[in-house]
Amino acid sequence: MAIRDLIQGNWLKKNVPVRREDWVSPFYSLQKEINRIFDNFFNELTPSRFFGDSFGSFMPSVDVKEKDDEFVVTAELPGMDAKDVDISISDDILTLRGEKKEEKEEKEGNYYRRECSYGSFHRDIPLPAEVETDKVEAEFKRGVLTVHLPKKPESQRKAKKIQVKTN
């Protein structure tokens, strides 16, 4: 047995095939990984990644709060009016739809500027309890839509106080 066989680092190297590109440069694997990351990023660079499923769509922020006797759904819809929003409920699913259209035009001095923006949205919000559909109320104020959905009496949680005994 040779002395170099006793060196611990040589035990692992025995009969192990070595890929030439791995030992040519210590930075080869780093470069390979960075290339893979950039390739994945640019291959996935599609308009839907930034603009949703299609151009001209947006997704408003929606909060759903559950109270003892009702659900309160709040949606932020800046730049929209109540006439631009459609609300419906069926099978314990609240559906919010809307379309936003905005055009700005400026003519002043030697320049002319016109900007158009539009977008539509569709949100389906499942409700965990049955709602009295004939008592649902909605209000729209300063770009915020608030929908009050009263629960059916049998769906409301009943709380019972439990007495704690001490020894």
Q: Which strands make up the sheet holding 93-108, listed edge to edge?
A: 85-90, 93-108, 111-126
Domain that holds residue 79: 56-155
* pLDDT, tens digit (0-9, with 9 covering 90-100), for 45-79: 655 555 555 455 567 889 999 888 888 999 998 87
The pTM of this model reads: 0.55
The CATH number covering residue 90 comes to 2.60.40.790
Over the stretch 74-98, which tens digit does the pLDDT of each residue have? Answer: 999 887 888 889 999 887 888 999 8
In a domain, 28, yes or no: no
Would you say residue 25 lies in a domain? Answer: no
**Number of domains composing the chain:** 1
Instruction: Specify the pLDDT at position 113.
Output: 87
Q: Any idea what DSSP says for residue 29? A: H
In which order are the strands placed within the sheet that holds 70-76? 62-66, 70-76, 144-150, 137-141
